[in-house]
Amino acid sequence: MARGGINLALVRKAREALLSRGQNPSIDAIRIELGNTGSKTTIQRYLKEIDSHDPRPSASPSRLSEELTELVGKMLERLLVEGNEALAHERAAFELERKAMKAESSTLQGHLEQAQREITKLQSALQTQDEELKTVQSSLQSEITRNARISQSCSNLEIRLQEKDTQIQSLEEKHTHAREALEHYRVAVKEQRDQDLNRHESQIYQMQQEVSVLQQTLMVKQEEATRMIRDNERLIAENRQHAKEANQHRDAIEHLRSDLGIANAATARADGAKELLTHQLETKTKEASEARSEATAAQRREDDLVQKLASAEAEITQLRASSDADYLKA
């Protein structure tokens, strides 16, 4: 009994399909056509049954003339020779194309490795630029902090300078008042002395004593005025020294502002270099992707050629099997 549901109708259908494609309906070919199901004995029994019911006469070599048989044999031999030559040609062409594809694949692999090395180099350079940028930013922040401290110090010095100016102005006013008081005092003493001399000539001795006292007082006042003048000169010298220090601080501030401008320019250059390296990295990554695509396409073409070669070898093997079967039947 037939296995796997094999019956006469399925065998007949498989046989007709093979004949329509110009193939020999052998037992193995029919079994393959049926999906490798059914036993060969069952398939052979069904084929005999189909042949017994086939109204068409079987093609037997005995019915052919010797000349036709010889012609068919020569054609078969020529077909085999030409098939072998074509197969050898296809194999040689395939081998050449395979070598070319292998060389191209090696070249693409080299380009890919080179691109990967360049990408690694660019990534390292980009990392270096990032570290330099961080260092510049840190230095810039330090300079900004230092500039703020110096600005605060300058503000404090300006406040102290204003206080010193106020003190100097106050001392100058006191000095002016002292001079005016001394002048008024001299005028008053002179007037008083003249009046005393005019009114009291008899009190000259007393007046002389008073004059002596007044002269001593005047000397004390003059000493005080001299001391105040010296204090005024000392304060003026201190004011000049503070003004000089303030100018030095202003120069330092200008220098720091210049350094800040240089740091900003370095930061801008670092940003530009970073953008350039990023663009180069994207280009190399795109080239590496294209190289991978080309290598994949080359591998796909090589697989297609291997499949074509296998198909050609299978057809030649089948042709030889068919020829051998026809020869055995003959």
Q: Angle at the Cα of 329 (from 51 to 59), degrees rounded to 5?
A: 50
Residue 209 is encoded by which pair of tokens? 């004593």
For residue 197, tell me if it sits in a domain: yes
CA 214, CA 198: separation in Å to the nearest integer?
19
137 and 262 part of one domain = yes
263 and 178 part of one domain = yes
For residue 234, tell me if it sits in a domain: yes
For residue 61, which of 46, 79, 43, 76 has the smallest C-alpha distance? 76
For residue 91, tell me if it sits in a domain: no
- Among 33, 57, 81, the domain boundary falls at 57
Residue 35 DSSP class: T
For residue 173, tell me if it sits in a domain: yes
Gyration radius of the chain's alpha carbons: 61
Determine phi and psi for 35, rounding to 5 degrees.
Answer: 85, 35
Question: Does pTM top 0.85 for this prediction?
Answer: no
For residue 84, tell me if it sits in a domain: no
Residue 43, classified by CB atoms within 10 Å of its CB into exposed (0-12), middle (13-18) or buried (19+), is buried
14 and 144 part of one domain = no
Q: Over the stretch 30-73, which tens digit does the pLDDT of each residue have?
A: 999 888 888 889 999 988 888 877 655 444 444 446 777 778 77
Residue 115, classified by CB atoms within 10 Å of its CB into exposed (0-12), middle (13-18) or buried (19+), is buried
42 and 154 part of one domain = no
Total number of domains in the chain: 2
Residue 202 DSSP class: G
Q: Over the stretch 124-139, which tens digit does the pLDDT of each residue have?
A: 888 888 888 888 888 8
CATH, residue 182 = 1.10.287
Return the C-alpha torsion angle 41, 43, 46, 47, nearest 10.
-110
Residue with the two structure tokens 């330099």: 132
Residue with the two structure tokens 């000259």: 204
- Among 13, 42, 57, the domain boundary falls at 57
Residue 270 is encoded by which pair of tokens? 């670092």
CA distances from residue 231 to 19, 58, 220, 228 in whole angstroms, order as listed = 135, 148, 16, 5
Q: What is the pLDDT of residue 60?
A: 46
Q: What is the pLDDT of residue 1?
A: 37
For residue 178, tell me if it sits in a domain: yes
For residue 110, which of 282, 291, 286 has the smallest C-alpha distance? 291
156 and 44 part of one domain = no
49 and 137 part of one domain = no
Q: What is the pLDDT of residue 297?
A: 82
13 and 152 part of one domain = no
For residue 79, tell me if it sits in a domain: no
CA 313, CA 86: separation in Å to the nearest integer?
11
For residue 8, give its domain range: 1-57
140 and 52 part of one domain = no
51 and 141 part of one domain = no
User: Which residues in the chain land under pLDDT 50?
Assistant: 1-3, 57-64
Phi-psi region for residue 5, left (φ > 0), alpha (ψ -120 to 50) or beta?
A: left
138 and 281 part of one domain = yes
For residue 296, tell me if it sits in a domain: no
152 and 268 part of one domain = yes
27 and 138 part of one domain = no
CA 123, CA 272: separation in Å to the nearest integer?
16
